[in-house]
A and B are shown apart, each in its own frame.
Chain A
Amino acid sequence: MEALSNLGIDWKLFLAQAVNFLILLFVLRRYAYQPMLDFLEKRTARIEQGLKDAQSAQVKLSEMEAKEKAILAEAHTEARNIIATAEESAKKRDSEREKETEAKVERLLEEATVKIREEKNTVMAEAKKEIGELIILSVEKILREKIDATKDENLIKEMVK
């Protein structure tokens, strides 16, 4: 006992130190460690979730980009096709119209030639008739005499020929 008190050991102080430490242990455990550890765990989970979300978002984004590219490419080819067909049909229509016009023109020309020929014919016939009459008149005038109608007509016909 003498040695213990020389070392400063006193059961009251010993007990007080033990109680002090136990109180500290329980207070810290209840009010510091547990809430802090829970908080840290929650945050870790949250960060992990966030990272996972970000990764999946990245994957989705790249997928969407690929999809977008594919759609764009498809649209491009489709547009090109449409333009090509439109051009083709336009060309076809143009050539058709051209042909049509040509045919029309030809027909008109033909018609015109026919008409001209007809007219020429009529004009010629009329002219023949008129010339014949004129000749008759002039011959009558020259001869001042009428042989007879038949002779006359024969004469005229011969002359006109």
Chain B
Amino acid sequence: MEISIAAEKLFMLGTFPVTNSFLIAFLVSFGLIVVTRFVVQRKELIPRGLQNIFELIVEGLLSFIESVTEDKAQARKYFPLIATIFLFVLFSNWVGLLPGMGTIGLAHSVDGHTTIVPFLRSTSADLNFTLALSLMVVLTIQFTGIATLGLFGYGKKFFVSPLHKPYVLGTVVGLLELVSEFAKFLSFSFRLFGNIFAGEILLIVMLHLVPYFIPLPFLFLEVFVGFIQAAVFAMLTLVFLKMATLPAEH
């Protein structure tokens, strides 16, 4: 049993190291594109089969986003980002739970004994992905805020003159808000990475301790956690986006 925080390298593509988590990211993206394309191209007025599921997801997400933004046009504008985060994170979390995820791989010898480098690893259990995603999200939040309020209007949220009503307190709170904008980057990425990586390790450990039946409740738990983490990531993105578009309260 070997646990590695970093995603394992499978092979090199030129100078680019292809890791198992990147392979999963690619496969999940490809699968999502193919399945949604298939559904959208064959959509009918009376939904059937896969179209039902896709419509359920799309309509559920849209109505949820509308309930947060309270604005239909804004909801449609944010929908692609929120939906993509939710779907991609959800499926990459769940793919990590498939049987054999940690066991099938390349034989690999380290220090004289052979271990297995698994082919597949949940994308969310790779810091490269969670950091990249949260960086994009944080940048999107900042740009959305500046685009709706203007550079000055958005800046007013963080740089408060100490000469007005709450005086120095307002200035300090504003600076704290600025720090928390950057903290979002870390909290987003480490929350997702921590939850999914911990889940994978938990499952591996349970499987090594008691191979049959006992790991089952933990598997269900991880299915639930995978969903919750995807929902939390998408929901927080949405809420921060909405908050960024609201003018400063003071």
Contacts and interface: CB of A to CB of B under 8 A. Distances in A.
Q: Do A and B bind each other?
A: yes
Interface of A: 5-10, 12-18, 20-25, 27-29, 31-37, 39-40, 43, 46
B40 A35 contact: yes
A9 B59 contact: no
A8 B5 contact: yes
A36 B54 contact: yes
Given A17-B25, A36-B43, A8 B126 contact: yes
Q: Is the interface of B mostly helix, strand, loop or mixed?
A: helix
A21 B85 CA distance: 9
B144 interface: no
A25 B80 contact: yes
B128 A13 contact: yes
A138 B169 CA distance: 178
A9 B127 contact: yes
Q: Is the interface of A mostly helix, strand, loop or mixed?
A: helix
B43 A39 contact: yes
B80 A7 contact: no
B240 interface: no
Contacts of A29: 80, 84
Interface stretch (B132-140, B159-167, B212-220, B227-235): B132-140
Given A9-B127, A9-B131, 19 more contacts: A12-B16, A13-B22, A13-B128, A14-B128, A16-B16, A20-B29, A21-B25, A21-B84, A23-B29, A28-B83, A29-B80, A31-B37, A32-B39, A36-B36, A36-B55, A37-B62, A37-B79, A40-B55, A40-B59
A36 B35 CA distance: 13
Interface in B1-55: 4-7, 15-17, 19, 22, 25-26, 29, 32-33, 36-37, 39-40, 43, 45, 54-55
List the 5 closest pairs (A to B, CB-CB), nearest first.
A8-B6, A32-B36, A29-B80, A18-B132, A13-B128
Contact of B32 (A5, A24, A35, A39): A24
A17 B17 CA distance: 12
B106 interface: no
B17 A31 contact: no
B88 interface: yes
Interface string B79-102: 111011001100000000000000
Given A6-B5, A10-B17, A12-B16, A27 B54 contact: no
Nearest to A30: B80
B129 interface: yes
A59 B198 CA distance: 63
A35 B42 CA distance: 11
Given A28-B80, A28-B84, A7 B33 contact: no
B153 to A, nearest CB: 27
Contacts of B22: 13, 16-17, 20
A7 B135 contact: no
A57 B133 CA distance: 53
B58 interface: yes
